[in-house]
Amino acid sequence: MKEDVEQEIMNLKQQPGQDMVILGSPRLAHYLMQHDLIDEYKITVSPVLIGKGLPLFQGLKEKINLKLIENKTFDSGAIGLAYQTVR
């Protein structure tokens, strides 16, 4: 991507096509959250406590309101949650 990530994401969101998905990149996710560039969050809660790693919602400047749009419980005990950003 170009140096101005925020503008590049805005340009991509204006184009027709499929949704953009970010998997396993906490730093990029934090940047996108801070710049209000995420429309939907899909979070899986696993029945395991790790105790280390990067916090999922680190460094937010203000709260982000979310609306639950989907939830699913898996046989493993994991729970899948989908939230839409409320603007």
Reported as a single tens digit per residue, the pLDDT across 37-75 is 999 999 999 999 988 877 778 778 889 999 999 999 999
- The CATH number that applies at residue 74 is 3.40.430.10
Q: Which domain holds residue 53?
A: 5-85
Give the number of domains in the chain: 1
**CA–CA gap between residue 9 and residue 7 (Å, rounded):** 5
Q: Give the residue among 4, 10, 68 at the shortest CA–CA distance from 41.
A: 68
Mean pLDDT for the chain overall:
88
Instruction: Please state the pTM of the whole predicted model.
Output: 0.79
